[in-house]
Structure 1
Amino acid sequence: MRYTLVATAKNEGPAILEWVAYHKMIGFETIIIYQNDSDDFTHETLKILRDMGEIAYFYNRAERGRHQVKAYKRAAQQAAFREAQWVLALDLDEFLLVRADGGTVQDLVDAMPECNQIMLNWKRFGGAGKTRISQDLVVETFTLAEDEARVKTRLTPFKTMFDPNAYTRCGVHRPQGQLIPEDQVRICNGSGLPLNAYEHRNFRAKDPGQRALAQINHYITKDAASFVLKSYRGSAHQANRAIDRKYWTRRNYNSQEDLLLAARADAIRDRMQELDAASGGRLLDLRDQAIELHRSRFDALMEDSATVYRDLYTYCLENPGLAIRD
């Protein structure tokens, strides 16, 4: 089967090589990435990966707050989208973790009943008490998450992998433009359960099976310094959404350790090094430069004692969210 991954990016220089390396490793033959307005070596990294044939990369012009939707419409025109058997859209802070034996996208599909949508619940990872931007991989730095059983009783956001012969394009959480009759729609979740086996509402659902076959690891806050920079940049698809104290408090889950993806860190690092070698040593150098740039930008925000971002950082330090949450 052919699997295609779609994403949008802006100023994701520190993590984008890790993200691409991992998702190529688990079986996405094609990764389509749309980037806009980055100035942290994201463009340079993506251009090299494109020239190496590892990804399809395009610049994404759009009105503020519309970049994600515009990118999904543009991606649907690409041959790699139309020719795929399965498509998934993720953000750069989301990693698909396949828990089915084998750990690849193919293993996930093989474990599923017949369907044309797979609702993959988030598992939200918090900052784990980290305060500064690390050189380490995202997946090994942040290993504290929401309680494993929480998804059984709480409606939790999901992303959807889908058959592009049944829908015209990606949506933020669900595919858009249904092409098949309603009686042909077959939906299951990340435990392989049919739609009538769990409660669902809009872009959120429960999962009685607790993500038995797959989950989306969502590193939504990261460390306190990265969160401050995220607040400074704003939301990719909701231009007016505040990324503030309330956002940190509500989304910073650190209730239970989850090492499933961290266990693959060495394999991800090996894949990153292979890509770097094929690039002539440029990719890891760009990653290092991006990390240093993000650190310096954070330091610049902190130098202004009157800035709201300094206050936000202080709040994050004083409220690390390490208590168990229900």
Structure 2
Amino acid sequence: MSITAVTCVKNEGPFLLEWIAFHQCIGVTNFLFYSNDCDDGTDTLLDALAELGHVTHLPNPAEGRNYQMEALKDAKKQSIVSDADWVWIADVDEFPNIHVGDHSFAALIEACGDPHAISLNFQFFANDDIEQFEDSPVIAQFTRSHNPDLWCGEAAIEVKSLVRQDFPLQYFGAHRPFFRPKVKKNQRPSWTDGSGRDVPHRFLVAANPRRIRRFPAAGARAYATLNHYALRSLDSYLVKNDRGDVNRENRAFDDTYWRERNDPAWEDTSIQRYLPALEKQIASLKSQGDIAALHEACVAAHVARRDALLEQKEYRKMQKQLRAASKLPPQEEAMLRDLGLLEPTS
């Protein structure tokens, strides 16, 4: 079974090997990377990995700022995607935590009954008060998250999707595929959540203008969860804020983004079952060609960028603000104030 992972990156060099190695451990056979405007060695590392046959690396084709959607439009035309049995679209801070069988994508597909698509709910992992960037597996460093059934007071949580080759595809969205218009009711794709249950009807038939990309997470994670490490260390968050993201140029991640994802109420170390295989696979990748040296160059560039940012008053202020920020999501804090359980802000 061939599985192609598709992702977009910008200055993610220190985190590439872990993400690739992890996905190789769960059964991904091919990788399609799109990069844009990298200055930390990400593109050089990806080129070296491509020469060794581990990934396909292309420049992002976007002419405007809609980097991810333009890349996904192009990906649909690439043989590495069109010839794959399954396609997985995710970011390099997202890791499927599969709870069944041998903890592989194949085991998840079997548990879900081999549907046309499987959508996994996010579980956002907090910063854990980790300040310094450390060149070690992210999945080992960050172990606390919000209650997986609720996020910022919402029962519906966003998903990412694994898509079978014969899905009646109109186009890939970043979170879920959309099937062609006028597909008859009895020909609609079979589509499950991470418990093998049919996704909610409203999610299934979402038309393009609504672009529904979430559904309730309660009961939807028996077979798999999608661990999302959007914050990582405070150091890495500052660098992330500086570079923006793959979707919008110069996007600033403000205090709200941090607070919404920095709820440490729940401890979950289950993904660490992958660590022995992951560390072995990372070591294997580093042993090939110049991969270890190129990875170290990315790490050095990441640290140097952090140091340069902290020379700026605005970033020192941001660092101080994030250190002091409440670990209650803004929505939950507002609700508690409305109930009189917290003092109003001055």
Relative to the length of structure 2, the TM-score reads 0.86
Counterpart among 238, 241, 245 of residue 235 in structure 1: 245
CA contact (8 A) 1:127 1:221 kept: yes
Match of residue 40 from structure 1: 40
Structure 1 position 274 matched with structure 2 position 284: yes
AA partner of residue 190 (structure 1)? G
Q: Is the 8 A contact 1:127 1:320 kept in 2?
A: no
**More displaced stretch, 162-171 vs 71-80:** 162-171
* Matched letter for residue 270 of structure 1: K
| Cα distance in structure 2, aligned partners of 1:67 and 1:153 | 28
Mapping 1:65-144, distance limit 5 Å? 65-144=65-144
Aligned partner (choices 186, 194, 197) of residue 193 of structure 1: 197
Give the drift of 1:63.
3.1
For each residue in 1:215-237, what CA deviation from the matched residue of structure 2 results, as whole angstroms up to 9, or x when unmatched? 11110111112111111111321
- 2:321 alignment partner in structure 1: 315
- Rg larger in 1 or in 2? 2
- The residue type equivalent to 1:289 in the other structure is A
Q: Which amino acid aligns with 2:254?
A: D
> Of 218, 221, 224, which aligns to 1:214?
224
Deviation at 1:19, TM superposition (A): 0.5
1:244 aligns with 2:245: no
Using the TM superposition, name which of 170-179 and 296-305 deviates more.
Answer: 170-179
The offset of 1:79, in angstroms, is: 1.3
| Greater shift in the superposed pair: 222-231 or 121-130 | 222-231
For residue 19 of structure 2, give the secondary structure of its aligned residue in structure 1: helix
**Coordinate RMSD, CA, aligned:** 2.4
The whole-number CA distance in structure 1 between the counterparts of 2:282 and 2:298 is: 15
2:8·2:33 contact (CA, 8 Å) conserved in 1?
Answer: yes
Q: Is the 8 A contact 2:125 2:146 kept in 1?
A: yes
Q: CA deviation at 1:288?
A: 2.1
Residues 115 and 321 of structure 1: CA distance in aligned 2, closer, same or farther (over 3 Å): same
Distance 2:47 2:97 in 1: 26
The separation in 2 between residues aligned to 1:255 and 1:199, in whole angstroms, is 28
Distance 1:181 1:316 in 2: 50
- Compared with structure 1, are the counterparts of its residues 73 and 25 closer, same or farther at alpha carbon in structure 2 (3 Å cutoff)? same
Deviations 1:90-149, CA, capped at 9 Å, x for gaps: 011111221112111111101013521211101111111111111211111111112234
Q: Any gaps of 5 or more consecutive residues in structure 1?
A: none
Using the TM superposition, give the Cα deviation of residue 75 of structure 1 relative to its aligned residue in structure 2, in angstroms.
Answer: 1.1
SS at structure 2 position matched to 1:261: helix
Q: Look up the match of 2:337.
A: none
Structure 1 168/275 Cα, relative in aligned 2: closer, same or farther at 3 Å?
farther
* Further displaced range: 138-147 or 197-206: 197-206
CA distance in 2: counterparts of 1:199 and 1:168, whole angstroms: 16
CA gap of 1:150–1:2, structure 2 versus 1, over 3 A, is: same
* Number of aligned residue pairs: 321
Give SS of 2:270's match.
coil
CA deviations 1:200-256 (Å, max 9, x no partner) are 881111133241111111101111121111111113214475311111111223211
2:339 corresponding residue in structure 1 = none
| Corresponding residue for residue 259 of structure 1 | 269
Q: Distance in 1 between matches of 2:203 and 2:57?
A: 37
Note if contact 2:122-2:225 (Cα within 8 Å) is conserved in structure 1.
Answer: yes
Structure 2 distance, partners of 1:322, 1:262, is 26
Q: Does 1:183 align with 2:186?
A: yes
Q: Which moved more, 1:185-194 or 1:152-161?
A: 152-161
Please say if residues 64 and 239 of structure 1, whose CA atoms lie closer than 8 Å, have aligned partners that are also in contact.
Answer: no
Question: Counterpart of 1:15 in 2: which secondary structure?
Answer: helix
Letter in 2 for 1:164: Q
Q: Deviations over 1:170-224 (max 9, x none)?
A: 2111113527544322221011111248988811111332411111111011111
Aligned-pair CA distance for 1:169: 3.8
**2:335 matched to which residue of 1?**
none
Please report how far the alpha carbon of residue 161 of structure 1 lies from its aligned counterpart in structure 2 after TM superposition: 1.2
Paired residue type of 1:161: L
Tell me if 1:288 matches 2:292.
no
Equivalent residue number for residue 305 of structure 2:
297
Give the Cα–Cα distance (whole angstroms) in 1 for the partners of residues 326 and 53 of structure 2. 41
Instruction: Check conservation: 1:86, 1:163, Cα contact below 8 A.
Output: yes
Quick one: which amino acid aligns to residue 206 of structure 1? P
CA distance in structure 2 between the aligned counterparts of 1:240 and 1:167, rounded to whole angstroms = 32
